[in-house]
Amino acid sequence: MDTAEDEKFMRLAIALAESNITSLAGGPFGAVIVKDGQIVAQSGNQVLTLKDPTAHAEISAIRQACENLGSFDLTGCTIYTSCEPCPMCLGAIYWAHIDKVYYGNTRTDAAAAGFDDEHIYKELEKPIPGRVLNMNHLLREEAIRAFTLWGKTDEKQNY
């Protein structure tokens, strides 16, 4: 059940998105990560500022939260994002083990505003040879050695 606190954090994510428009820092997106009722990270989209296509609000907030918490594992965290996460951000949310996502705008709303990720969703459904992006399998016999070594390493930390 959504609470007044959830709405407070979502309003902050929305305010970050709006602030990005007036500051010209990036696209109209904002994200806030919370753990145990405390904000551990917040960011607007920084694609334009950093000239980095991966600097979406969610990714930037995840990076900041990991640094602030000293961990790559954000279990126990909730992310509030002004828009339904794109495929890249959704993947990062899964990798970070964030427990819950609240989002404001939908991906349809984003498409109507000129941020259409539908082509990525469609590409991911296709077999690799049928994708627009030219992907080539090369030197697997050599590349597999890294995974073999990883499997034999006692000091590894799985994630």
Q: Annotated active-site positions, please?
A: 58
Question: In the block, which residue shows the tokens 């709405």?
Answer: 7
130: DSSP letter = G
Phi, psi (degrees; rounded to nearest 5) at 101: -125, 130
Our measurement of the distance from residue 16's CA atom to the centroid of its chain's CA atoms, rounded to an integer in Å, reads 16
Structure token pair of residue 58: 């969610």
**What span, in angstroms and rounded, lies between the C-alpha atoms of 24 and 67?**
25
User: Which among 27, 63, 21 is positioned nearest to 42, based on CA atoms?
Assistant: 63
**What span, in angstroms and rounded, lies between the C-alpha atoms of 49 and 31?**
16
Count other Cβ atoms within 10 Å, centred on residue 74.
24
> In residues, how long is the chain?
159
Structure token pair of residue 98: 């964030």
